[in-house]
Structure 1
Amino acid sequence: MKTLHFKTDVNCSSCIATVSPELEFKDKIQDWSIDITNPDNILTITTDYTEAEVKEILEKVGHKAEPVPA
């Protein structure tokens, strides 16, 4: 597994509640968190998914994600 970082538009607890079901129950995701205190709302995710697949998961529930270097 690798740890990836994304700039997102997930900026409140309601937004986290929206993406949580999509990230919680995936076999390829070990751990994830979103730092909404960071101006870029950074998603840190430990996963076997590719950056493109993680981006697609968030877009599926109406949120944007752009990969950023660790």
Structure 2
Amino acid sequence: MKTLKFKTNINCGNCLSKVSPILNAESGIAEWNVDLQDTEKTLTVKTEDLNPEDIKKTVLKSGFLANPK
């Protein structure tokens, strides 16, 4: 399992409620978390087979940005 980290613009609980269904529906994501206390609002994703571009596209579906760190 690999861990990928992204700088995002997901900055509040309301933002999380919008992105959560999209990330939860992605079968390739085993686990994910957004650190809202971090200044870069870091999204951490654990996956076996997805690459950073896959995660970036998935987050974009919910209207947010995710740039690999």
CA apart distance, 1:41? 0.1
**How many Å separate the matches in 1 of 2:62 and 2:24?**
14
Aligned partner of 1:26 in structure 2 is 26
Q: Deviations over 1:17-44 (max 9, x none)?
A: 1110011122211100000000000000
> Aligned residues, how many?
68
> Aligned AA for 1:65?
A
User: Where do 4+ consecutive residues of structure 1 move more than 6 Å?
Assistant: none
- In structure 1, stretches of 5+ residues that fail to align are none
Q: What percentage of aligned pairs have identical amino acids?
A: 38
Bigger shift: residues 21-30 or 42-51: 21-30
The alignment's C-alpha RMSD in Å is 0.8
- In structure 2, stretches of 5+ residues that fail to align are none
Aligned partner of 2:45 in structure 1 is 45
Q: Deviations over 1:47-68 (max 9, x none)?
A: 1211001000111111011100
> Aligned AA for 2:29?
I
**How many Å separate the matches in 1 of 2:56 and 2:68?**
8
> Aligned AA for 2:23?
L
